[in-house]
Structure 1
Amino acid sequence: MVQKESHDHVNDTDLDNVEVISIKDQVISQAVQRPPAKSLLQTFSTTSKETLFPDDPFRHFRNKPSHRQAIMLMQYFFPILDWLPKYKLGFLKNDFIAGITTASLSIPQGIAYAKLANLPPVVGLYSCFLPPMVYAIFGSSRDLAVGPAAVISIVLGTLIREDLGPEVTDPRAHLSLAFTSTFFAGLFQFSLGFLRLGFVIDFLSHAATVGFVAGVAVAVCLQQMRGILGIQNFTKKSDVVSVLHSIFRDPAHWNWRTVVIGICFLTFLLGMRQISKRNKKLFWLSAIAPVTSVFLATVCVFATHANEHLSIVGQLRKGINPPSFKELHLTGPLVSKAMKNGVIVAIIGLMEAIAVGRTFASIKNYHIDGNKEMIAFGMVNMTGSCMSCYITTGAMSRTAVNNSAGCKTSLSCIFMALIVMVTLLALTPLFHYTPNVILSVIIFSALITLIDPVEAYHIWKVDKIDFLACLGAFLGVCFQSIQLGLLIAVAISIGKILLHVSRPHTATLGKIAGTSIYRSIEQYPKAVRIPGVLIVRIDASIYFSNSNYIRERLTRYIEEEQGRDKLPGESALKYLILDLTPVMSIDTSGIHAFVEIHRALKASDIQLVLANPGAEVIERLHRGGFVDILGQRWISLTVDDAVHYCSMQLPRDNNVDNHEDVSECDVIVQIIPKFGL
């Protein structure tokens, strides 16, 4: 039998009303359940699993025979063992054509991007041969074309030049530090993937990345004016002011021959790109335009003996990648700098590769594992550093060409690598007379597309703080250094996170007429306030970093509510309902803040009510003793239940819901279907 409770506003003879309130009390006390208790080991195990293995990558291994589990484990770490046995001969033509097309773009870009990193041009070709072969074994993307990329090339070259100083002219020292930085980049990438810490790269937001990449593109494009204008004495600094000063310091020293060649081939490359954009079937025009430019320029220089007036690539070493174990310096004064460089280029490379890979995976409706990609690129760069390769990633331009050419699997990367191998073994002498101005033009035409004012304007419209991160990164790179731009981007992105954590959003709620739904009054001005009841939603977990702010914000809400003009007959504020639906967690500081709020409200004759606390929240409120302080009956399953319960406690003439009388029988009718009574 249900026990009857007495209330101040209920007459002793009004037994029916007492019965209703008692039933409601019992329903409320049973509505929010405490989750089953877990041991410390179970809690730690669950938390670790959700943090490191949210996708549960080994879920398919369960309930399988041991030999099958061993095969699946090998396929997990070596994806080529999964797709190669299923390979269809019908895919061979597509992958071969895609490999040839991508190689025609990769060869000139590899030579040009090695120049960006201040490395011998042949190292760029080495980095287009071995890394794609390794990625085909460990990578999970079907479309990603692996090789050197413009942004990480210039970042690595700038970092190494600053580490060694402008007075160092020994190319072997620069090469050695590049290989060592690449090794540490691979080690860092592999560690992130193996430990499943891929969320680290998420601290660089999309907006910050847009600004950073645009800043690098502007700085590098201006630096390529050295090759296009044929300037001999050029600054070693990367900021825009220094570069512009070097360009316009003495226009009389510009080489008119390189200017003419540069303008002609830049017009050709940009024209082919526009044609390919307008007609998707002609994608190959943009793909072969760089190698066509290299061929035509080389033939012209050779036929006219213009090498006497132009800077040329010179002799390239024949043969595939020589070992570079001896070039790795894992001890000594430069190790710390190599590690620092490796971490920076590793993060930038992973961001580009995973973003590009996921973009094309979504187009073809398949999934790539971010952590497996990190392991793959870790293996690519660690292996490459030992075989004369510098840092590589998945570049957007080559991947787009690979996808447009109809690639079906990673076998297209292997075909591309084989064509580069043929080039290294037999065709490198043909690049001897290639003018450096062509390499500058190829770099310029590739990077100018990374400057995206439309995306920057879109960021400005959507989120002003995001635009601040974008602008800060852009200005930092352009006017100071690449490192400062990256630091500003990360700092503003983390600052935005801290701002949201320390100043979470809150909202006062009202009832949508004719429903049991409660929404923000600011968003829905027609939502009805409940007389005598203030409903506040907290839109974040409650931690030490924001508990004081939440307490102060609730105090202001109460003061504003008490100072609001009341309707005739409307009672004073008696209840504060906190909607905890968005609150996923609470710590001891948050519980202490709740205790202080409850104490202050009691002194003002206002009752605190909690609505829909989650499993972790209610568990910690129990352990912290706050449930005993507040009382179980003041914790409700939904906001609507809490409002009904509070309305029944108010005096009869103020028992209002949506400005209409709500009788106890109406409450019973609404309670019974919800709780099965």
Structure 2
Amino acid sequence: MASSAAAGSDAEKGNWVLNAPRLPGSRRESVEFSGEESNKDIVILQGSLKHFKHSTTTDASTEDQMLDLEKNSSSVDRSQWVLNGPEPPGLCHELMDSVRETISYCGNKYSSLKSQPMLKSVVSVQQEIFPILVWGRNYSISKFKHDLMAGLTIASLCIPQSIGYATLAKLDPQYGLYTSVVPPLIYAIMGTSREIAIGPVAVVSLLIPSMLQKLQDPAADPIAYTKLVLTATFFTGIFQAAFGIFRLGFLVDFLSHAAIVGFVAGAAIIIGLQQLKGLFGISHFPTSTDVISVMEAVWSSFHHPWSPHNFILGCSFLCFILISRFLGRKNKKLFWLPAIAPLLSVILSTLIVYLTRADKQGIKIVKHIKDGLNPSSVHLLQFNGPHLGDVAKVALIVALVALTEALAVGKSFSSIKGYHIDGNKEMMSMGFMNIVGSLTSCYVATGSFSRTAVNFSAGCETPVSNIVMAITVIISLQFLTRLLYFTPTAILASIILSALPGLINVNEIYKIWKVDKLDFLACIGAFFGVLFASVEIGLLVAVTISFTKIILISIRPGTETLGKLPGTDMFCDTEQYPMAVTIPGIMIVRVKSALLCFANANFIRERIMRWITAKKAEGLKGNNTKDAIQLVILDMSNLINIDTSGIATLEDLQKNLTSEGIELAIANPRWQVIHKLKLSNFVGKIGGRVFVTVAEAVDGTITGKIAT
């Protein structure tokens, strides 16, 4: 083995990692030490002192002190470093640290500002809140040209989409245009992403009515429903701003990536089915969003007189939009074609209906869209209604979904351009823009993937493209709404349908299936929950499956037996590294869990005892007693904490091993773990066999045998 160790280069050792057997993999027989090789190849790991000496530059006197300390310190001395360490921080201290960490950012900013002159401090605060004051100093005419082109391009896509998404949200069409004015202006001065395009999006536009129409039917009382939507938008902004101010962005992580992929795919299909109302010109449509109710409504519509003109007109322009998108992907110079195709569709279809008076032949049209700038909606917010609690719950869900989509979009495009967006600032900017938006007749706005992709392709340089887009929408609201009177609803449906294929990411779903089956279960759970039940049920199913995955991993953590890698001082999993060598008479076990607690302790103890029993039976069968297990070493490097149930289980394990004539030792216990083991007197029960590393535990055992 010595020759193989010498021959093993760093490249070959790297291949041990890359060419490890597939998971879960069948257990393989490990090579074992025998004879004199066991004494030759056991190397004492010198711990952090050796690493410190070789990796840190110190003066001569410090190096001499380190050398003397290393020479005079034995493994017994180093074990005392573990046993005699200071007490770890208590629960109150940890809670205070958590609070301190939450507000440390503000505290550091306050300290730096306090040391500056008053005027400079005011400027620094303004720059922190409004990033436009930072990048705006280097703004140039050349950048404005790019932003102007990008802003006009996304406005041509935004105007028809906003009208369509407003109808999807069961609101009057002008509310979609209002939402494309105020939120983009606020984000432009507070946001940190250069490419993200702000406005209404399909998923949020579906999510809001799917939950709020249970409280108020939008068809029966549209004004009361609009009040609920605006109130939910206000609370959504409050939640989003609070996440950013108190640095609670981790809450967004409760919606896992797999859950979001499945949810968005299911929502895309539901949105597409909802558009069949406009595409077929169906008058009566169910309020429920599940696929069965929608398909029943579509099927029943064929039994009544209906005009196929809506379907023919909508499908014609849907084909036009999809063909223009295909041409834009084939030729990058034609990026503007798919962006302007929806607006061209609206203009052409409106002219066709107006000139032929097709509305008299059964073509359904948008009719009146209220013109003028965003009116104040402060008087529409309801803070004392009977549904306030339910509206707040809806707002929390919408806030999480909207933030998840916006951050995913922003991070995707910022990574392409090689800069970083500040997640907490993004949350604050999204929150404030929705708060102000709720006061100016806007419903929930967030980052749109389709419009952001167009903005990026159009060559935007800064968030000024959002300002250009908002100004264009303002002009449209002021002067062009009357021209949209004859716009057919089938065209709005086709525009929304054209945006849906990008929401169903089949490649990502396949990747999730290939990488993690439990994540795939959460993905399809969200997908089918949205499809056959409701949007909120789909989210609930996805979150439940994700939490179930965490619980399963916690209560059934993996355990692995370790062996020594040839030519190194490292002890690794013998299944992952078949070349790892086990040591006669010693079983080294590592628990792959951060917590040893009531939920998993017995499972771990039973697995260790099964291994001991199997090893003993194997020795009796082969009539080989020299390799019988005499020592079990628990590598606790992964354990961060332990509870009383975990300690009690370790005591039971120690008793069971003692009855079998086997000793127990622990290696590399963390701070909280060793402190609790000392308080419970477990260290005394195992004879003080506590070591800094697994290598020292092995060496101490072998040295003791040789001395005996």
TM-score, normalised with respect to structure 2: 0.84
Q: Deviations over 1:611-642 (max 9, x none)?
A: 2223343344344443344454x222222222
Q: What residue number does 1:259 align with?
A: 311
Structure 1 distance, partners of 2:346, 2:84, is 72
Q: CA deviation at 1:158?
A: 1.7
Distance (Å, rounded) in 1 between the aligned partners of 2:220 and 2:173: 17
Q: How far did residue 44 of structure 1 move?
A: 3.6
Question: Could you tell me how far 1:316 is from its partner in structure 2?
Answer: 1.4
Structure-1 residue corresponding to 2:616:
562
Letter of the 1:106 counterpart: C
State the partner residue of 1:111: 163
Pair 428,601 (structure 1): closer, same or farther in 2 beyond 3 Å: same
The yes-or-no answer on 1:552 pairing with 2:603 is no
- Alignment CA distance shift 1:374-1:63 (3 Å): closer
**Residues 1:236 and 1:74: Cα distance change in structure 2 (over 3 Å):** same
Shift of 1:585: 2.6
Q: 1:640 aligned to 2:691?
A: no
For 1:22 and 1:61, how far apart are their aligned partners in 2? 46
Q: 2:271 aligns with which of 203, 210, 220?
A: 220
Partner of residue 243, structure 2 = 192
Residue in structure 1 matched with residue 649 of structure 2 by the alignment = 593
Q: Which deviations, in whole Å up to 9, do the C-alpha atoms of 1:379-402 show, x marking residues without a partner?
A: 111111111000111010111111
**Unaligned 5+ runs, structure 1:** 1-19, 654-677
Q: Aligned pair in 2 of structure 1 residues 344, 42: CA closer, same or farther (>3 Å)? A: closer
Measured on the aligned residues, the alpha-carbon RMSD in Å equals: 2.5
**How far off is 1:602 after superposition?**
2.8
Structural mapping, 1:657-668, within 5 Å: none
CA apart distance, 1:502 = 2.0
Aligned to 1:378: 431
Give per-residue Cα distances to partners, 1:520-578, cap 9 Å, x unaligned. Answer: 12222332221111111112212333233323333233223333346846332111111
* Identity of matched residues, %: 43
Larger mean CA deviation between 147-156 and 448-457 belongs to 448-457
Structure 2: distance between partners of 1:390 and 1:548: 52
Give the C-alpha shift of residue 298 in structure 1: 0.8
| Shift of residue 273, structure 1, vs aligned partner | 1.5
User: Which residue of structure 2 lines up, in the alignment, with residue 66 of structure 1?
Assistant: 116
Residue 11 of structure 2 is matched in structure 1 by none
Q: Deviations over 1:56-89 (max 9, x none)?
A: 5765776663335554333223322322233333
- Report the CA distance between 1:362 and its aligned residue: 1.1
For 1:594, what is the secondary structure of its paired residue? helix
Which range moved further: 134-143 or 177-186? 134-143
2:514 to 446, 461, 464: 461
Look up the SS of the partner of 1:192 in the other structure.
helix
Question: Residues 585, 284 of structure 1: CA spacing in aligned structure 2 closer, same or farther, 3 A cutoff?
Answer: farther
Letter in 2 for 1:373: E
* Counterpart mapping for 1:197-596 below 5 A: 197-251=248-302, 253-308=305-360, 309-542=362-595, 543-565=597-619, 568=624, 570-596=626-652
Residues 80-229 of structure 1: matches in 2 within 5 Å? 80-165=132-217, 169-229=220-280
> Counterpart in 2 of 1:673?
none
The answer as to whether partners of 1:266 and 1:445 remain within 8 angstroms in 2 is yes
Map 1:33-52 → 2, pairs under 5 A: 34-35=85-86, 38=89, 42-50=93-101, 52=102
Structure 1 letter corresponding to 2:616: Q
Partners of 2:425 and 2:154 in 1: how far apart?
Answer: 24
- Whether the aligned pair in 2 keeps the contact of 1:179 and 1:328 (CA below 8 Å) is yes
Q: What is the TM-score with the length of structure 1 in the denominator?
A: 0.88
Q: CA deviation at 1:607?
A: 1.9
**Displacement of 1:32:** 7.2
2:503 is matched by which residue type in structure 1?
A: L
Q: Which amino acid aligns with 1:111?
A: I
Measure the CA separation in 2 of the matches of 1:212 and 1:37: 43
Counterparts of 2:422 and 2:684, CA distance in 1: 46
Partner Cα separation in structure 2 for residue 412 and residue 36 of structure 1: 56
Are the aligned partners of 1:32 and 1:636 in contact in 2 as well (CA < 8 Å)? no
Q: Is the 8 A contact 2:75 2:691 kept in 1?
A: no
Q: Structure 1 residues 506, 212: closer, same or farther in 2, change over 3 A?
A: same
Match of 2:9 in 1: none
Question: Cα distance 1:312–1:348, how it changes in 2: closer, same or farther (>3 A)?
Answer: same
660, 681, 684: which one aligns with 1:604: 660
CA contact (8 A) 1:581 1:611 kept: yes
Aligned-partner residue type, residue 170 of structure 1 = D
Compute the displacement of 1:337 (Å). 2.1
Q: Is the 8 A contact 1:534 1:561 kept in 2?
A: no
Superposed CA deviations along residues 132-167 of structure 1, whole A, max 9, x for unmatched, are 11112222211111100000101112212222248x
Contact 1:189–1:375 (CA<8 Å) still a contact in 2?
yes
Secondary structure at the aligned position of 1:537 is classed as strand
User: What secondary structure does 1:118 align onto?
Assistant: coil
Q: CA distance change for structure 1 residues 62 and 568 in 2, over 3 Å: closer, same or farther? A: farther
Indicate conservation of the 8 Å contact 2:378/2:439, yes or no: yes
How many residue pairs align between the two structures?
A: 630
Question: Is 1:323–1:387's contact at 8 Å kept on the other side of the alignment?
Answer: yes
| 8 Å Cα contact 1:138-1:376 kept in structure 2 | yes
What letter corresponds to residue 290 of structure 2 in structure 1? D
Q: Which letter does structure 2 place at the counterpart of 1:407?
A: C
Q: Is the 8 A contact 2:594 2:640 kept in 1?
A: yes
- Name which of structure 1's ranges 531-540 and 62-71 shifts more when overlaid on structure 2: 62-71
The question of whether the paired residues in 2 share the 8 Å contact of 1:532 and 1:571 is answered with yes
| Matched letter for residue 640 of structure 1 | A
Distance in 1 between residues matched to 2:341 and 2:84, nearest whole Å = 67
Offset at residue 418 of structure 1 (A): 1.0
Residues 221-278 of structure 1: CA deviation (Å, up to 9, x unaligned):
1121121122222222211111111212242544221121111111111112222223
Q: Is the 8 A contact 1:221 1:448 kept in 2?
A: no
Amino acid across the alignment from 1:98 = A
The amino acid that maps onto 2:448 is A
In the TM superposition, what whole-angstrom CA distance separates every residue of 1:61-120 from its partner, at most 9, and x where no partner exists?
Answer: 766633355543332233223222333333111111111111111111110000100100
Gaps of 5+ in 2: 1-70
Q: What is the CA-CA distance between 1:38 and the residue it aligns to? A: 4.7
Contact 2:373 2:478 in 1 (8 A): yes
Name the counterpart of 2:22.
none
Aligned to 2:8: none
Equivalent position SS for 1:85: helix
Rate the CA distance shift 1:572–1:47 in 2: closer, same or farther, 3 A: farther
The CA distance in 2 between the partners of 1:172 and 1:507, in whole Å, is: 63
Contact 2:282 2:301 in 1 (8 A): no
Query: Are the equivalent residues in 2 in contact too, given 1:61–1:72 (CA < 8 A)?
Result: no
Aligned letter for 2:116? S
Task: Report the secondary structure of 1:289's partner residue.
Answer: helix
Change (3 A) 1:289 1:564: farther
Query: What is the distance in 2 between the residues matched to 1:526 and 1:162?
Result: 62
Q: Distance in 2 between matches of 1:75 and 1:596?
A: 60
